[in-house]
Chain A
């Protein structure tokens, strides 16, 4: 087995890129992801990693170079966050449209304005329609493992879609945790070299990124749709393969004490551990709570959400992002997944932990109270609740 090391989340994603034998790393620094290009630079400077490091003048150019490199047949990874992901946004859609299996570690960080460097999921949530697969890590170990698996899933010829792995700003990116770092030979055994279908090759010239008229455009998009569907199966296969080789089990959605639960909290990322501990405390108080952690957000785990929904009276969705004018984005997707189910639980949406505000047991107790009241009322008037707002700041202006 691997070597136990105490490392930051950013180091975990960088070492994953090294172990994956990434060929090209186009990168641009941004808090809280900067340690990724720093670490890769160290590896390259010390001859520990045989990669081309391309330090661009913007995130837009980093993703553009990633596209050029991936189309040339290279395995490509980079890292970014927040505004950096926004600057890449245009190119994210082009990377997926061109079916290039680029992998990006995203240090999930709030979006400006006001400028804020701390954790929430606004950055990746706003890219949920970009055609990228999305994985969310709860721990530094998961960040490393999901990065490794992301290459294998993305590069599978049934998929050929890019992937982003989210790790919460500071809570994971900058926090030291014990991580089992796999050995190179173990990773080589798990992850074969990238075998592209088509490349920019002077011996077999092809046109990449051509002009698609109404006569052809929809079929390109349908193929991306189908690829996301295939990814559901491939993800299960790769998760199973990973468990066989490394002994660590991953699921698209992981459940905790849900079997007899009346209230199930739905979480993503680092808060999931807090959710499980809160579930234990709520149960000590006689409240039948459970928790479910979404690990794979794109493709959305429709069937798993439907199964979990059957178990509860209330699904309490924690959204670390907001779609202004409707609700949190995870909530809308869950509501959509359940819309044609004959029996479904009541759905509550909790906008929580934006811009790095801590999510504590007290918040879970408050959410459980709202869920209990909802069960008692038997109906939902307004499903969206903002948790732990500082009301004193909102009263009477500035």
Chain B
């Protein structure tokens, strides 16, 4: 790893952690004049075990549900003290800290119009506490609180469309990204940072521990999620969904089953073709909405 990295090695992330790769990419683009407010979660725990730190930028963690509010305080304080110019203020949080418990603080930050880039590392469950279901967890995924049981086959209900909800606040810039598309990810982070006002990037972050797949498959799974249409790469300036731009269209979409096969959390589905067909239908409909 190059010595000018701002998120450095030696942290306690699991091998193959999609989020760790994503964080590194985000900070490579943001550069040293960056302050991060981080929510409680894997990222905070694995990087800041006192007296060590993996962060070579100013970084603050306060609690789980308030990265957006802490970042808001940093934003206005720097403005008041005349130190805001040329500094990026970012909020980092997991899906639990964004889709669920941090949702209100996020919405408040967006509405107030802070010039903050909020990045959610979406690994689709509460991983830090040991893989519990979240409103980000996809249908039928098995977690410790939505186990694939004899009667109920994993998570009930849909995945909350967080980026659409965020974009509905009519903010400067909203985008989705994965670590399998690094150029796309960095371009989106750059656009987010250059936007005047709030911006939001949802980064799909495979979790080998929580999804139960071999650690070398993180990038492959990110690619598979996009190639099946389960995760769509898009960006939007403002709140008019007619202006959504798909930044990567798979030439030929792969069946969702191929994506499920690689992960323990969906293993039970392989014996339930009707459930797979149901998800395939939903993905097809979603992709049709996006125009592919």
Is B168 engaged at the interface, CB distance under 8 Å to the other chain?
no
Residue of B nearest to A62 (CB): B69
Determine if A90 and B33 form an interchain contact, defined as CB atoms under 8 angstroms apart. Answer: no
Is A23 engaged at the interface, CB distance under 8 Å to the other chain?
yes
Distance (whole angstroms) from the CB of B43 to the closest CB of chain A? 11
Residues of the A chain whose Cβ atoms lie less than 8 Å from the Cβ of B53: 207, 210
Determine if B108 and A94 form an interchain contact, defined as CB atoms under 8 angstroms apart. Answer: no
Residues of the A chain whose Cβ atoms lie less than 8 Å from the Cβ of B74: 68-69, 71-72, 200
Determine if A73 and B73 form an interchain contact, defined as CB atoms under 8 angstroms apart. Answer: no
Is B25 engaged at the interface, CB distance under 8 Å to the other chain?
no
Known A-B contacts A64-B66, A73-B81; A54 and B59 likewise in contact (beta carbons under 8 Å): no
- Complex: how many Å from CA A130 to CA B110? 30
Determine if A64 and B69 form an interchain contact, defined as CB atoms under 8 angstroms apart. Answer: yes
Determine if B112 and A55 form an interchain contact, defined as CB atoms under 8 angstroms apart. Answer: yes
**Among the listed A62, A98, A207, A213, which residue makes an inter-chain contact with B55, where contact means beta carbons less than 8 Å apart?**
A207
Determine if A213 and B49 form an interchain contact, defined as CB atoms under 8 angstroms apart. Answer: yes
Distance (whole angstroms) from the CB of B152 to the closest CB of chain A? 33
Determine if A72 and B77 form an interchain contact, defined as CB atoms under 8 angstroms apart. Answer: yes
- Complex: how many Å from CA A70 to CA B70? 10
Distance (whole angstroms) from the CB of B145 to the closest CB of chain A? 23
Determine if A213 and B60 form an interchain contact, defined as CB atoms under 8 angstroms apart. Answer: no
Is B163 engaged at the interface, CB distance under 8 Å to the other chain?
no
Determine if A66 and B87 form an interchain contact, defined as CB atoms under 8 angstroms apart. Answer: no
**Among the listed B51, B59, B83, which residue makes an inter-chain contact with A216, where contact means beta carbons less than 8 Å apart?**
B51
Residues of the A chain whose Cβ atoms lie less than 8 Å from the Cβ of B104: 57-58, 61
Residues of the B chain whose Cβ atoms lie less than 8 Å from the Cβ of A62: 69
A340-381: CB near B (< 8 Å → 1, else 0) gives 000000000000000000000000000000000000000000
- Complex: how many Å from CA A73 to CA B87? 15
Distance (whole angstroms) from the CB of A96 to the closest CB of chain B? 12
Chain A, 76-134, CB within 8 A of any chain B CB: 76, 90-91, 94, 98
Residues of the A chain whose Cβ atoms lie less than 8 Å from the Cβ of B111: 57
Distance (whole angstroms) from the CB of A51 to the closest CB of chain B? 7
- Complex: how many Å from CA A90 to CA B69? 14
**Among the listed B33, B59, B81, which residue makes an inter-chain contact with A23, where contact means beta carbons less than 8 Å apart?**
B81
Distance (whole angstroms) from the CB of A84 to the closest CB of chain B? 15
- Complex: how many Å from CA A91 to CA B49? 20
- Complex: how many Å from CA A250 to CA B68? 40
Is A8 engaged at the interface, CB distance under 8 Å to the other chain?
no
Determine if A205 and B57 form an interchain contact, defined as CB atoms under 8 angstroms apart. Answer: yes
- Complex: how many Å from CA A61 to CA B104? 9
Residues of the A chain whose Cβ atoms lie less than 8 Å from the Cβ of B123: none
Residues of the B chain whose Cβ atoms lie less than 8 Å from the Cβ of A23: 77, 80-81
Residues of the B chain whose Cβ atoms lie less than 8 Å from the Cβ of A200: 35, 58-60, 74
Determine if A52 and B50 form an interchain contact, defined as CB atoms under 8 angstroms apart. Answer: no
**Among the listed B50, B76, B87, which residue makes an inter-chain contact with A54, where contact means beta carbons less than 8 Å apart?**
B76
Is A60 engaged at the interface, CB distance under 8 Å to the other chain?
yes
- Complex: how many Å from CA A158 to CA B209? 45
- Complex: how many Å from CA A61 to CA B57? 24
Known A-B contacts A54-B73, A68-B70, A73-B77; A210 and B61 likewise in contact (beta carbons under 8 Å): yes
Determine if A212 and B63 form an interchain contact, defined as CB atoms under 8 angstroms apart. Answer: no
Determine if A205 and B73 form an interchain contact, defined as CB atoms under 8 angstroms apart. Answer: no
Sample (17) of A-B pairs whose CB atoms are under 8 Å apart: A26-B73, A52-B76, A57-B105, A57-B111, A61-B68, A62-B69, A64-B70, A65-B69, A67-B70, A68-B72, A68-B74, A71-B60, A72-B35, A200-B58, A206-B59, A208-B60, A211-B49
Q: Which 5 A-B pairs have the closest CB atoms?
A: A68-B73, A57-B108, A65-B73, A64-B69, A72-B77
